[in-house]
Amino acid sequence: MTSFFLRLLLPLVLGLAAPAIHAAGADTRPIMLVLGDSLGAAYGVPAERGWVALLQKRLDAAGYPARVVNASVSGETTAGGLARLPALLERHRPRWVLIELGGNDGLRGLPLTRLRDNLRQIGALSRAAGATPIYFEMRIPTNYGADYADGFAASFGEVARALKAPLVPFFLAEIATDPASFQDDGIHPTAAVQDKLLDAVWPTLRRVLAAGASR
């Protein structure tokens, strides 16, 4: 009796699973993996209104065949991103890795040598997996002194130059001095300015995509 029911159910199970398998394999666009913190995870903002979701819409509208995978986690550090990256690279096999990390390291006063080392390793792992690392410059207030803040901001450009990788200039620059652009915590941008964040990221991504298309 048991074998009878197994034979009866097996086609139903396979029939239900087949569409999901087909759907997962149907999208062959190269992957753009976003490895970020709360800014990438759209903290306090509906996910569909965050700049990462808007990035997918802009790529589609501009005719760039890329699929965005958002692996951002609120509170993430460069060490946490580095620890998660191998599994993400194995699972998604991205062509580009957007490295929007470091802000939480700076707010915790992480030694800059460790910050730069983590960033280098993230870029090196991405390159070894066949992906182009794209760094995001980050800045922090001068809570730990001007020397630390200046060295922190410079770290992203230093690592990007060392790896000959693209660098997105500080993408909060346009809104950084406008309190109305931030939620009540004074840290996370509101939904209303997510398009401005994307506008700051887009020129670098467009150059990277154009360079890849011309090869």
pLDDT in tens, 138-147: 999 999 999 9
pLDDT value of residue 92: 98
- For the segment 119-124, the average pLDDT, to the nearest whole number, is 98
Q: Examine the pLDDT at 22 and tell me if it is beyond 90.
A: no
The yes-or-no answer on residue 38 being catalytic is yes
Q: Examine the pLDDT at 4 and tell me if it is beyond 90.
A: no
- 85 or 22: whose pLDDT is higher? 85
Identify the active-site residue in 37, 38, 72, 126: 38
SS3 91: helix
Pick the CATH number of 29-213 from 3.40.50.1110, 1.10.3720.10, 3.40.50.720, 2.40.50.140: 3.40.50.1110
Tokens read off for 36: 């970020």
The yes-or-no answer on residue 155 being catalytic is no
Lowest mean pLDDT among 23-27, 72-76, 143-147, 210-214: 23-27
SS3 19: helix
Domain ranges of the chain: 29-213
Q: Model pTM? A: 0.86
Distance set, CA 190 to CA 99, 180, 193, 197 (Å): 21, 8, 6, 11
The yes-or-no answer on residue 3 being catalytic is no
Q: Examine the pLDDT at 112 and tell me if it is beyond 80.
A: yes
What is the C-alpha separation between 140 and 106, in angstroms, rounded?
7
Rg (CA), the chain: 20
Identify the active-site residue in 3, 27, 185, 214: 185
By residue count, the chain amounts to 215
What is the C-alpha separation between 204 and 188, in angstroms, rounded?
22
Per-residue pLDDT band for 26 (boundaries 50, 70, 90) equals confident
Identify the active-site residue in 117, 181, 188, 195: 188
SS3 138: coil
pLDDT value of residue 213: 64
